[in-house]
Amino acid sequence: MDSNAIKILLEKYWEGTTSLEEETQLRIYFNGDQVADEFKSFQPLFQFFQLEKEQELPEDFTERVVDNLPEQKPARVYNLRWGMRIAAAIALIIALAFVIRPYLNEQPETEIVASEAGEITDAEEAYEELKMALALVSNKFSKGTDKAQTGIVSIRKATKVIK
Amino acid sequence: MTPLQNKLYRFSLRIVGNTAEAEDVVQEVLIKMWKKRTELSAYKNLEAWCMTLTRNLSIDKLRSKHRRTSELQDGLQVVDKSVTPFQHAAYQDTLERVRRLMAELPEKQRMVMQLRDIEGMTYQEIAEALSISMEQVKVNLFRARKQIRAKLINSESYGL
């Protein structure tokens, strides 16, 4: 590459208007052995860029990272243990629920029977109670039929009018 | 060895200025990636994500180091291990000088220059990695190059 082209590229470079390809051209030029004297003062810069580009991580870096990874394992085991504990606790609660459930259902029933039995002691009283209850029901029933009858009468009247 | 890993390494190295710490940073980034491996596909630009993470971790590291060293001993010279013995042979004094010139640049200018001139990234990629606008990328790159150029010419004229 002639020095005039380099001069133009360099000017563009200082202005910050070079493309990546042009910057690569400059780097290649300055890392060659035919650098014109007028540009010599800028040669170290592009040599530096080239050298820096070649700087890499040590060969065994990835191995070392992988070696350091197992430190996470204990944490994972710990988490698993917690999971197992939680699962065991849930299983225990479910098992307990199954065992307790029959008792839970029985207890209220026995309580009700007990309280009713406590209120009504002799047969006479129980009979009276039953009669009252039945009377209440039959009363409601007859009220219902009365209502229905008046309803039917009014419907008949209405149908007669329509006819 | 993936190229991205080395790119992150060089980027971190430019910030922390120490190979051991730069390696630590890259390791942390890789572990974070591993932990988030199921979500990674959701990120539009994985490389920019990694770059941002690397930058943040490196800056954190640098700040904690500054705090530590200033607590221990003021003015303590932090041993710079960013150059391996092999490279040291390859480094000429002039290259060492450029390295120092670049290290003297303000943080943003230095990072932009690193990503452009060493990593060969586009303005768009740099903007995403550094979470700044394209205009900011161009301005910072322009200023960085201008300053480096002035110092190179200056040291030349003084015969340093």
pLDDT in tens, B36-48: 878 877 777 788 8
User: Do A66 and A38 share a structural domain?
Assistant: no
Into how many domains does chain A fold?
A: 3
User: Do A68 and A46 share a structural domain?
Assistant: no
Residue in B27, B119, B152 closest to A42 by CB: B152
User: Do A115 and A66 share a structural domain?
Assistant: yes
The pLDDT of residue A134: 86
3-state secondary structure of B65: helix
Tokens 């209440």, residue? A136
A65 vs B31: CB contact, 8 Å cut-off?
yes
Contacts of B123 (CB under 8 A, 6+ apart): B116, B134, B137, B138
A12 confidence band (pLDDT: 50, 70, 90): very high
Angle made by CA atoms A140, A144, A149, in degrees to the nearest 5: 150
Please name the amino acid found at residue A25.
Q
Q: Which domain holds residue A13?
A: 3-55
The pLDDT of residue B84: 64
Which residues of chain B have a CB within 8 Å of the CB of A23?
116-117, 120
Please name the amino acid found at residue B132.
I
* ipTM summary value: 0.76
> Does residue B90 sit at the A interface (CB-CB below 8 Å)?
yes
Contact B107, B99 (CB under 8 A): no
A44 vs B145: CB contact, 8 Å cut-off?
no
> Does residue B43 sit at the A interface (CB-CB below 8 Å)?
no
Which residues of chain A have a CB within 8 Å of the CB of B6?
55-57
Angle made by CA atoms B160, A39, B13, in degrees to the nearest 5: 65
User: Do A17 and A51 share a structural domain?
Assistant: yes
User: Do A97 and A112 share a structural domain?
Assistant: yes
Neighbour count for residue A69 (Cβ, 10 Å): 13
List the domains of chain B with CATH numbers. 1-76 (1.10.1740.10), 83-160 (1.10.10.10)
Contacts of A69 (CB under 8 A, 6+ apart): B31, B34
